[in-house]
Copies of this chain bind each other. A is one copy, B any other.
């Protein structure tokens, strides 16, 4: 057995636990999920979890970190196909909502459960979230430089407002079993609102 296969197996087991955790947390909620529930779902022993994660919270944070890293990468690819910053913003909104729709379990854990965890938002600094929002901020700044966005727009405030709008709608959609509006329509509406609101 060579090094590669060992570390590959290791990564596999880590992934195995992470995927089991997403399912368990989405179904029962983070708080109500016991570590042993995750262990059972991942088909490992309780103690094994602690070979890969520092704590129960660390599992949640890892889900967040890794999902966000992936999203940051993919959203950048998605917006590359446009050149106008405003079109890119629209693309961002569509991407975000499509992502929530396609990975409901992951989205539920990130949107709902993550916030119910007392460590998050307080002790943990969500750098990844910052990075994700920074993409929005960069687009706004580029728009300002290109003259398509009003000069008096504060990119720091605007990017957070944009993200807040997307986030609130996504949260609602996740919590409501049968939402009245699809996320696609919501994304379009929000994009339209902000594009009009931002442009010179």
Q: Which residues of A contact B (CB under 8 A)?
A: 29, 31-32, 112, 115-118, 121-122, 152-154, 156-158, 160-169, 172, 175, 180-181, 185-186, 189-190, 192-198
- Closest chain B residue to A170, Cβ basis: B164
* B197 & A192 in contact (Cβ 8 Å cutoff): yes
Chain B contacts of A152 at CB under 8 A? 192
Chain B contacts of A161 at CB under 8 A? 165, 168-169, 189-190, 193
Chain B contacts of A116 at CB under 8 A? 115-118, 121
* B118 & A112 in contact (Cβ 8 Å cutoff): no
A122–B174 alpha-carbon span in the complex (Å): 11
**Closest chain B CB from A112 CB (angstroms):** 7
* Dominant secondary structure of chain A at its interface with chain B: helix
* A193 & B190 in contact (Cβ 8 Å cutoff): no
A-B contact pairs, 8 of them (CB 8 A): A29-B122, A31-B118, A121-B175, A122-B175, A154-B181, A156-B181, A160-B168, A161-B189
- Closest chain B residue to A113, Cβ basis: B118
* A185 & B29 in contact (Cβ 8 Å cutoff): no
Chain B contacts of A172 at CB under 8 A? 160
> Known: A118-B116, A121-B116. Contact between A185 and B157, CB under 8 A?
yes
* A181 & B157 in contact (Cβ 8 Å cutoff): yes
